[in-house]
Chains A and B, each alone.
Chain A
Amino acid sequence: MSDIEKKSIDLATQEVLKKAKDENIKTAWDRLESQEPQCGFGQLGLCCTICNMGPCRIDPFGEGAQVGVCGANADTIAARNLARKIAVGASAHSDHGRDVAYTLSLLSEGHAHDYEILDIEKLKNLAQEFGIDTNKPAGSGLASDSQSHKVKEQIAKELSKKLLEEFGKQEGELVFTKRAPKKRQAIWKKLGITPRGIDREVVELLHTTTMGVDNDYKNIINNGMRCALSDGWGGSMVATDVQDIILGAPEPIRGKVNLGVLKENCVNIVVHGHEPILSEMAVKASQDPELIKLAKAKGAEGINLAGICCTANEVLMRHGVPVAGNFLQQELAIITGAVEVMMVDVQCIMPALQEVAACFHTKLITTNPKARFPGVTHIEFESEKAYEVAKQIIKVGIENFSNRNKERVNIPKYEMDLVAGFTKEIVFQILGGKYRATYKPLNEAIISGRLRGLAGVVGCNNPKQTHDYFHTTLVKELIKNDILVLQTGCSAIACAKQGLLIPEAAKVYAGKGLQEICEAVGIPPVLHLGSCVDNSRILTAASYIIEEGGLGQDLSDIPAAGCAPEWMSEKAITIGFYFVASGVYTIFGASPFATLGSKNLTDYLTKDLEGIVGGRFEFCDDPIKMAQLMIEHIDKKRKALNLRPRMYQ
């Protein structure tokens, strides 16, 4: 295996990495090399920088200091460090949710003209969940066309108020937690980890980790779970559901993926980050006749929009916009030399982009007041004039086209087809038909043993491992064993690049049972559910499965498992915690959480939690072994439910 093959299994990535090497442009892989060996105390979670009596370190070999200046031991230090990461991950997703809810509020008051309520049914369903009367319009009872419009806006206004209140609530329970099965809700209540208010859980968790507050690692982790639940069953769910209302609920859609989607003769605009509110407008603006005309006047054939990371997943799910790549390909997109503008919003945007962009004509444009680079062009997004801002950014790209050095353009010829756009509602319809939408066929497939179980494979990339290798090897192994795989985020992009997200993949890779299902309903064996906030779709879908019946009373009864094989972000930790706290067995690859320095804490996470919340963590660094562990768990759950043996062994 050559050096470059060790870095990535993706051929497009390998090709651009060769170019980067030839041109002496540094990427994440090079920077990792110069960071090695990484700090052992950091990896073990044994370094505490919380107060100014430190930094303190615990000697992992037992000779030196076993407590910090304040007296905190390895358990406390590692647990506090981990809890802070949970809080940060939750804050990222939830703040995203807040911005989307705020946009709905502006829209309902007539301030965000560029958006409209696209999914009225979902709006009404959500309003009903929040106890809003959707039948009684403000004013008169009879609704003419113009009045029904008013009603829609009125519902949105009341709903957005309620949604925003979820963030600032001090007491009670988050409304979305009611979506969980009764038994699950009871477990949370008994443990006192039902989230009360989204912001409160983050703040309170941070408070408990400051010097001299919570010293009991178990209590710290329990509070961490409550905070994580406020993300999964709170902030992320708000983000997903409100985005579906104002941007339209996704439906299965074809798309293309990998760096080959960049077009040599077009103005290439890459959207990157996580919040789709602005990139949605960029999609619209890229089709603006006036802008296309301008692009042609500048010698381009047109405007080509492509995405990276979860912003890509969002615009893919709703519009079929091509995906240029996942997390580790953000720098590589620029290194193709063919990107006029990379417009970024928030999260997972490498600071290194600025330097890489400086090697080319590419203009990096920040759009969010929360995420800026020193010296980089900032065109701030405002909901009130979203379309105008998007047009302005695309115009910068068009003007920049003439600055492109054609001799340095090198777009790898790799692209792959995919089908995305699966949501919890769509799964209903696909399986049961539009008029008798139901999860019954899915449950029955599991009960009858045609399907062995379900797996959620999600998460990032990490240069510590061969890029995309863990995602794809694991997923192939799972579908081979008749396990239907649900994906989000950069993991979905990884598998899409290897051709796993097309219906035809079932014939090549899936076991016989899964193959039959895929062929009967025409779905791929791997379903793309969206961005990383859309992991909330998995939680709701799992709740529907329990509601449908036959697979137990609680989420932890379902023959299912989760995995983040190449994770790197704090958000992944939070997602892991809300899955585990919802009863799901969850494996983390790459390197484990920084807790190994505390045996007690590690045992609590990987052993004891199962008896407390029904789910637990596992750390594993081999994709085949991961698959085996997930299958073992799924079989254990099948046995507990007394299900029939697998139809095809």
Chain B
Amino acid sequence: MKQLYYDVKKCLGCKSCEIACAVAHSISNELFKTIKEEILSLPRKKIISSKDKNYPVSCRHCKDPKCVDACMAAALVYAQEKGMVLHDESRCVGCWMCVMVCPYGAIRPNIKTKIPIRCDKCKDKDEPSCVKACLTGAIIWQEELASPVGTVPARANTG
């Protein structure tokens, strides 16, 4: 099963992945139309800069997801076979518990829709839109690496 990996040495902080993510999760899927939609689609990935490096941050789909434990509405489920945390938006009550417990700050509240947004690895597509949007190849989409016990799968290479 494929996961997102990052080579942060290559990230220039251009935010192209953010725009591609918002467009991919919009109604129209076209930039010029996306920005005119009534409820704006928001990027599920954000570039966080720290010291002299940029980190593309989005849900890492942890195998031991704190957000799933914290969800009182049972809107979150970890699907073993897909290797990802699934979010049933119809059950979500917008309590923001998942936002608070995420150790990576990867889940973001959409205040307008009162629903948290998180990476769904562009579930209908062959690969997440951010991968193609990254012109430097800092975002990598590949088979999961065998990870040492206790680490999370989609970890950043802090280079």
Contact = CB atoms under 8 A, between A and B. Distances in A.
Interface in B121-156: 132-133
B43 A40 contact: no
Interface string A37-77: 10111011000000000000100111100000000000000
Contacts of A57: 15
A567 B107 CA distance: 42
A34 to B, nearest CB: 9
Interface string B27-42: 0000110010000111
Contacts, number: 34
Contact of B16 (A40, A62, A592): A40
Determine chain A's interface SS by DSSP, over half rule: loop
A41 B19 contact: yes
Contacts of A41: 15, 19
A484 to B, nearest CB: 33
Contacts of B23: 40
B32 A596 contact: yes
Interface of B: 14-16, 19-20, 22-23, 31-32, 35, 40-43, 132-133
Contacts of A40: 16, 19-20, 23, 31
A246 to B, nearest CB: 45
Given A44-B31, A592-B32, A60 B19 contact: yes
B22 A61 contact: yes
A39 B15 CA distance: 9
B15 A44 contact: no
Interface of A: 37, 39-41, 43-44, 57, 60-63, 591-592, 596-597
Nearest to A596: B32
Contacts of B32: 43-44, 591-592, 596
30 contacts: A37-B16, A37-B20, A37-B133, A39-B14, A39-B16, A40-B16, A40-B19, A40-B20, A40-B23, A40-B31, A41-B15, A41-B19, A43-B31, A43-B32, A44-B32, A57-B15, A60-B19, A60-B35, A61-B22, A61-B35, A61-B40, A61-B41, A61-B42, A61-B43, A62-B40, A63-B42, A591-B32, A592-B32, A596-B32, A596-B35
Contacts of B133: 37
A37 B41 contact: no
A37 B21 CA distance: 12
B37 to A, nearest CB: 10
B87 to A, nearest CB: 19
Contacts of A37: 16, 20, 132-133
A148 to B, nearest CB: 61
Contacts of B41: 61
B35 A44 contact: yes
Nearest to A62: B40
In the complex, which of the residues A61, A62, A596 has the most CB atoms of chain B within 10 Å of its own CB atom? Answer: A61
A591 B43 CA distance: 23
A592 B35 CA distance: 14
Nearest to B26: A61
B137 to A, nearest CB: 12
A60 B20 CA distance: 12
Contacts of A597: 35
Contacts of A44: 31-32, 35
Contacts of A596: 32, 35
- Residue among B32, B42, B132, B133 with most chain A CB within 10 A: B32
Contacts of A61: 22, 35, 40-43
A43 B15 CA distance: 13
